[in-house]
A and B are shown apart, each in its own frame.
Chain A
Amino acid sequence: MEAIIGSLYTERHMNNTHTPMPTPRKAVALISGGLDSMLAARVIADQGVHVEGINFYTGFCVEGHTHAIRKKDRDKDKRNNALWVAEQLGIKLHIIDVIEEYKDVVINPRHGYGQHLNPCLDCKVFMVHKAQAWAWMEEHQFDFIITGEVIGQRPKSQRKATMPLIARESGADDRLLRPLSARNLPPTLPEKEGWVDRERLFDFHGRSRKPQIELAAKLGFEDFSQPSGGCCFLTDKSYSKRLADLWQSRGRRDYEFDDIMLLKVGRHLRPRPHYKIVIGREEGENNYLSGYRHDFPTIKTISHKGAFALVDGEVTDDDLRQAAAIVARYSQGRDSDQVQTQITRPGQPVCGYIVTVAPMSGDEIPSSWYV
């Protein structure tokens, strides 16, 4: 017993009399904002380990954006779930911007995609690897990494066979601990060294959420987030369709941060292979899109309220006239004979030029144009 208690501590820090001052072992927990990672972090913190959270911002995270953009959603609770979880747990949370590095995960996943364009397995390897690189840094010196993964929870990325693969490919090896499924997996270093008591870890498996809900109740958590599809937009069917369309239209698989943000906003229509229109669905989206007026040609209806759009692609004046007739359909002038629109190209005076169009009817817009 003595040996176990002794090993729970490290002599990492010395006091000024050079007597070793024991400090608890340190674990960094990947915090997504969902229930599983919250429970995993808490279970380890309850064993006397110093836990801090880490959260990666890829640009595809569901958190916040659409709420911030859409005016009708602005009154909803806009909390960032990862921050909220950290606060409930009383731990620090470090949010890391991985937008640039993450591109390679999305564009070239070694293990392929899930149901849509979600590269979940590569994503997990990437995140554990990044967490490890951060955790082992001289100024951080963490001892191990925790995730909320549960065997069998997700058909592709959370299977018994993928657990060792993630540990191996990330480089974390036996310093990667999944407290919720640990007893279904070989003992990791923190368990073997006695930094955590394996008997107080769990053997959850399968798709059922019941064990997690019961544990949450036991630990006194009443309010928590349970995203059904996954933690990012890449698991969303229509979002993935838009991303695939972007790649196809450009003839190459890449993206900039603004591209993936714009895919979250508005109605997207591609009337010709070489251009796409993004039409705001309400005032908040129109305002957001207007922030890109220096980067794209824009169309705004001026005789009638309601529509602002960006045009993405190399467009002629004829293309813009066609786009204006489509945009007019989504304004309050949709049933009028004519709608005045203002078209502005980047680098031209903001007042642009006025084009009067007949709004396209619903029949003239084939469903294949909707992206």
Chain B
Amino acid sequence: MLDARRLLCPLPVIRTQDRIAALTPGDRLTVYCTDPGVIHDIPAWCRIHGHIVIECRETDDEIIIVIEVGVAALNGNSTTTVQSDKG
């Protein structure tokens, strides 16, 4: 789990990126945020790096995003795989 509450974008994206760099494909990371900008930014970052957004949930005071680390992430020299979390 990554606590990115009270951080404003792009810091939640940077913290997510740095945490995911230490994970392996198939691992899941749950990110807790308060900046509504993450609803756009974290899924966009995941799409360009080939990670999958499993869940993006908004409660009264926070946003919870669950990410699964994708295989494309490890293959730095390959063509980027773009995956969408939308339907």
Contact = CB atoms under 8 A, between A and B. Distances in A.
A57 B10 contact: yes
Contacts, number: 81
Contact of A64 (B9, B14, B80): B9
User: Interface majority SS on A: helix, strand, loop or mixed?
Assistant: mixed
A92 B74 CA distance: 12
Contacts of A84: 44
A26 interface: yes
Interface in B29-44: 35-37, 40-41, 44
A339 interface: no
Given A83-B48, A87-B47, A92-B80, A63 B36 contact: no
Contacts of A69: 8
Contacts of A139: 76
Given A63-B10, A64-B8, A23 B77 contact: yes
A90 B8 CA distance: 25
A65 B8 contact: yes
Contacts of B11: 57, 97
B8 A80 contact: no
A30 B48 CA distance: 16
A64 B35 contact: yes
A63 B12 CA distance: 13
B37 A92 contact: no
Contacts of A83: 10, 13, 40-41, 44-45, 48
A13 interface: yes
Interface string B64-87: 000000000000110110100000
Contacts of A78: 9, 36-37, 40
A55 B45 CA distance: 12
Interface of B: 6, 8-11, 13-14, 17, 35-37, 40-41, 44-45, 47-49, 76-77, 79-80, 82
Interface of A: 12-13, 23, 26, 50, 55, 57, 61, 63-65, 67-69, 74, 78-80, 82-84, 86-87, 90-97, 139-140, 261, 291
Given A23-B77, A90-B80, A95-B14, 18 more contacts: A12-B77, A57-B11, A61-B10, A63-B10, A64-B9, A64-B35, A67-B37, A68-B36, A80-B9, A80-B37, A83-B10, A83-B13, A83-B48, A87-B44, A90-B79, A90-B82, A91-B48, A91-B80
